[in-house]
Amino acid sequence: MDKAKKRVFSAIQPSGTLTIGNYFGALKNHVAMQEDYDCIFSVADLHAITVKQEPEKLYTHTLELYAIFLAVGLDPEKSIIFIQSHVPAHTEFTWLLNCFTQFGELSRMHQFKEKSKTHSDNINAGLFDYPVLMAADILLYNTELVPTGQDQKQHIELARNVAQRVNGIYGDILVVPEPYIPRTGAKITSLQDPSKKMSKSDSNANAFISILDEPDVIIKKFKRAVTDSEALVKFDEENKPGVSNLMNIYSCATGRGIAEIEKEFDGRGYGDFKMAVAQSVVDALSPIQAEYKRIISDKAYMSEKFAVAAERAADIANDTLRRLKEKIGFYI
Ligand code: ATP
Ligand code: LTN
């Protein structure tokens, strides 16, 4: 690993098939970051079981997410790409950090409050402790930058506070991470309700485009996307949130600027515009889908990659774990 490069860590839960929101908001930036940073990416399967998971689905989604990571261009030769539960240090470090995290600060987490409502029949201790496991993920790897969407900012702030608290007691042993939120694509909204973010666990499949949706499905979903009655392709997030979201998606898929897009569709109706957006997404996803099909059918290749990655990750993680245990006063 190149010491001159900053360490980056991020993870995604295998809680469903990724959407173009996850791709444009997170993964696409992760791929670009590999050139300039020393990157570690993880499939956060331990986080996923904070809500109910059917075993077969969790198993399938874990492998699928790993294949998607590789298909979009995360490169196991450049970055460490591993499955969280393969590195036991994450759970052990979580226990240590639990003892430096206050009940009060976890009670204030937005995601816990929201998920306690949506999963009111299963408000388990893991759901409450989710941010400490995330702090463990980040702090184990001496992470300097954590790229995520806006929704994870509060969790990163908690990881910073815990690191600073530990450092205050034992000296500077943990690196205090910074959030890294991208400017474009940070929020792709639902195709059915543009006031909500596009989410892979939305109960209405027309609300999201999955990375693995077939071209005819993509076209159908864009045709049904909510717009307005003005028939004018103009960027105005407040008054025309549906059209503005489609313009954002088109911009992410083609690299064109918003002004250029307004000009391109000047005097043309929404029918034309929606077809162009759909086609641009089909074109952006088609090489990823072809690569995905190749990788998912080669499980031996993936197993080899994630086994090597877990060893490399464990080397770094175990060192941090041992250093903190020594400081705490454990007999090692
Ligand atoms: P779930 O629906 O299961 O809660 P999700 O689709 O909201 O999940 P996560 O797994 O929580 O996605 O997030 C993975 C990454 O993608 C995070 O960095 C998150 O900030 C980013 N992300 C998720 N949804 C969007 C979106 N609509 N626009 C931009 N970025 C997003
Ligand atoms: N909580 C994140 C996933 C996640 C993560 C992390 C992100 C788990 N561990 C460490 C950044 C760093 C989510 O739901 N998007």
Catalytic residue among 3, 28, 57, 115: 115
pLDDT digits (tens, 9 = 90+) for 284-311: 999 999 999 999 999 999 999 999 999 9
Does the pLDDT value for residue 279 go beyond 70? yes
Q: Is 52 a catalytic residue?
A: no
Q: Which numbered atom of ligand 1 lies nearest the CA of 197?
A: 27
Ramachandran quadrant class, 123 (left: phi over 0; alpha: psi -120 to 50; beta: rest): beta
Residue to substitute in 22, 72, 156 for testing ligand 1 pocket (most ligand atoms within 8 angstroms of CB):
22
User: Which two structure tokens, joined as six digits, stand for 317?
Assistant: 């993680």
pLDDT digits (tens, 9 = 90+) for 110-159: 999 999 998 999 999 999 999 999 999 999 999 999 999 888 999 999 99
Direct distance between the N- and C-terminal alpha carbons of the chain, in angstroms, rounded to an integer: 28
Let me know the angle formed at the C-alpha of 277 by 272 and 283, rounded to the nearest 5 degrees.
125
Provide the residue type at 262 as one letter.
E
Q: Is 197 a catalytic residue?
A: yes
Q: Could you tell me the distance, in angstroms and rounded to a whole number, from the CA of residue 2 to the centre of ligand 1?
A: 29
Closest residue CA from atom 5 of ligand 1 = 199
% of the chain surpassing 70 pLDDT: 98
pLDDT at 186: 62
Tell me which residue of 309, 316, 308 sits closest to 3, measured CA to CA. 316
CA distances from 324 to 97, 137, 171 (A): 10, 14, 10
Helix and strand numbers, DSSP H then E, in the chain: 14, 5
Residues with Cβ within 8 Å of residue 123, at least 6 apart in sequence: 116
Catalytic residue among 6, 153, 187, 200: 200
Q: Which numbered atom of ligand 1 lies nearest the CA of 149?
A: 20
83 contacts 66 by C-beta, under 8 angstroms: yes
Q: Which numbered atom of ligand 2 lies nearest the CA of 149?
A: 15
Residues 181-209, mean pLDDT to the nearest whole number: 88
- Categorize the per-residue pLDDT at 220 as very low, low, confident or very high, splitting at 50, 70 and 90: very high
Mean pLDDT of the chain: 95
Q: Could you tell me the distance, in angstroms and rounded to a whole number, from the CA of residue 29 to the centre of ligand 2?
A: 15
- Categorize the per-residue pLDDT at 98 as very low, low, confident or very high, splitting at 50, 70 and 90: very high
pLDDT at 25: 86
How many other CB atoms are found less than 10 A from the CB of residue 184? Answer: 12
Three-state DSSP class for 117?
helix
Closest residue CA from atom 15 of ligand 2 = 12
Distance of CA 304 to the CA centre of its chain: 23
90 contacts 318 by C-beta, under 8 angstroms: no
pLDDT at 184: 63
- Categorize the per-residue pLDDT at 3 as very low, low, confident or very high, splitting at 50, 70 and 90: low
Residue to substitute in 10, 15, 146 for testing ligand 2 pocket (most ligand atoms within 8 angstroms of CB):
10
CA distances from 70 to 24, 42, 205, 302, 324 (A): 16, 12, 25, 9, 33
Closest residue CA from atom 13 of ligand 2 = 12
- Categorize the per-residue pLDDT at 101 as very low, low, confident or very high, splitting at 50, 70 and 90: very high
Residues 166-181, mean pLDDT to the nearest whole number: 97
201 contacts 15 by C-beta, under 8 angstroms: yes
| Phi, psi dihedral angles at 179 (to 5 degrees) | -70, 155
% of the chain surpassing 90 pLDDT: 92
Q: Is 115 a catalytic residue?
A: yes
Q: How far apart are alpha carbons 43 and 58 in whole angstroms?
A: 11
Beta-ladder partners of 8: 39, 145
pLDDT at 240: 97
Residue to substitute in 23, 58, 133, 151 for testing ligand 1 pocket (most ligand atoms within 8 angstroms of CB):
151
Q: How far apart are alpha carbons 93 and 132 in whole angstroms?
A: 9
